[in-house]
Structure 1
Amino acid sequence: MNPEPKSSMSEESEISNPPRRYFTRQRRQLTDSARRNMGQAASLHLTKLQQRLQKNARIGLYYDGFGELSTQPILEWCQRLGYFSYLPVVGSLGHANNGFEDKRLRFVPIYHSKLLNVPTRIHQLGMKQNHHRRLLWARELDVVICPLVAVDLNGNRMGMGGGFYDTTLSKVYRSGTKKPLKIGWCYDFQVVEQLARQPWDVPLDGLITPSGIRWF
């Protein structure tokens, strides 16, 4: 399929994104069994990501605490191949100069075989996170698996609205650095034709769904 022509900024500004609740409602309607089965189906495509990684790669993933596609298969894949896995931490840097919480994520190592067994605290925004003294920056990882609400055919990602991943990854993206690879992980119904893109948005390098893998 030929790639869609890139829209101008004026055209992009006219695009109206579907509401986040449209996708989150569909996610929450899935049974635990369906989520696990689709997570396993998506994990079959991780072998194509493996082709781009070196030995002992560092992989950042996340807790699937809001009905997202299960990320447990990613952790199991990492452990089978000897990759090091990490989870994001929000707020580890305290507050920025403007007094608001610094949105840059850092990442802590996972020492458990199941995400359910990782000791966590609940952040004020509702997500689970683990705390550890050894924290890595995103630039120290080889891959960051990014949560998303929706993604389009050009790799533009709609997040939860907090801006944590865009803030975390923007500096390395603007510099042209290829590391880390930014990979989306979601259900097929979260893929849409086109989303509006803002100047601060960081696009994905690839996307994995139960039906396959796509590179942008």
Structure 2
Amino acid sequence: MHPELKNIETIELKVSNPPRRHFTRQRRQLSAGARRQLANSASLHLFKLQQRLPPRARIGLYYDGFAELPTQPLLDWCQRLGYVPYLPVVGSLGNDDKRLRFVPIYHAKLLNIPTRIHSLGMKQNHHRRLLWARELDVIICPLTAVDKNGNRMGMGGGFYDTTLAKSYQSGAKKPLKIGWCYDFQVIEQLERQPWDVPLDGLITPSGLRWF
């Protein structure tokens, strides 16, 4: 366990839908150095995901703008193995449409990508070559918390559940839905809503698990 994690308060198991602010506070207690170290530890488990991917796989990533587990190691991994990374774009079809589309990444560092701040606070980049989620092989999903059955509590906007609902309901094999988070974001059980789309797998600093 990273030494800084010892000071983070824990929550009791079998809690349904704890408040998002609980996890936000935990994330922000970590220094930037600790976040990077934990992300590097998580990236050591990516080889287990490679076994399920085709050559030149298309991978949806996201900016870690709210003290989440940093996603730069995911971009490094994509570039090292020849995978094609993408970032989500909100509102490309109008502000009332919650379906995400994805823009290719042409930079080696997320910090170097030209962005603007969406009204909801997240960074995003725009480009003419936008893909639908169904055209990706994997989507790395941001999350607030996840339970041991793969049920995911999102960031509150409902964008990923809306984006992935059709492929999930149809039983499509792709995109694979993979969570990427700290170990303290994994709890025993979350209350699942009818519109929730569960994860296929989860990567944390302690390992990769499939659901």
Confirm or deny a common fold (TM above 0.5).
Answer: yes
- Residue 111 of structure 2 corresponds to 116
Equivalent-residue separation in structure 2 for 1:25 and 1:125 (angstroms):
19
For residues 77 and 199 of structure 1, the distance between their equivalents in structure 2, rounded to whole angstroms, comes to 34
Could you tell me which amino acid in structure 2 is paired with residue 143 of structure 1?
V
Question: Equivalent residue of 1:124, what SS?
Answer: coil
Partner of residue 71, structure 1: 71
Q: Counterparts of 1:44-193 in structure 2 under 5 Å?
A: 44-95=44-95, 101-193=96-188
SS at match of 2:76: helix
Tell me the matched-pair count: 198
**Pairwise CA distance, 1:161:** 1.1
TM-aligned CA deviation for residue 199 of structure 1: 0.4
> Once superposed, what is the RMSD of the aligned Cα atoms?
1.0
Distance, in Å, in 2 between the alignment partners of 1:208 and 1:43 is 8
Identity %: 82
Q: Give the distance between the partners of 2:127 and 2:117, measured in 1 at CA.
A: 14
1:33 aligns with 2:28: no
Deviations 1:112-162 (A, max 9, x none): 000000000000000000000110000000000000000000000000111
Distance in 2 of aligned mates of 1:215 and 1:28? 27
Per the normalisation by structure 2, the TM-score is: 0.92
Deviation at 1:37, TM superposition (A): 0.3
Mapped partners of 2:126, 2:28: distance in 1: 27
Q: Determine the C-alpha separation between the residues in 2 that align with 1:67 and 1:19.
A: 17
Structure 2: gaps of 5 or more residues:
1-14
Where do 5+ consecutive residues of structure 1 fail to align?
1-14, 96-100
Q: CA deviation at 1:29?
A: 1.1
The aligned amino acid for 1:64 is: D
TM-superposed CA distance for 1:16, in Å, is 3.3
Alignment partners' CA distance in 2, 1:55 and 1:72: 21
| Aligned partner of residue 131 in structure 2, secondary structure | coil
Q: Give the residue type in structure 1 aligned to 2:65.
A: G
Whether the 8 Å CA contact 2:16–2:189 is kept in 1: the answer is no
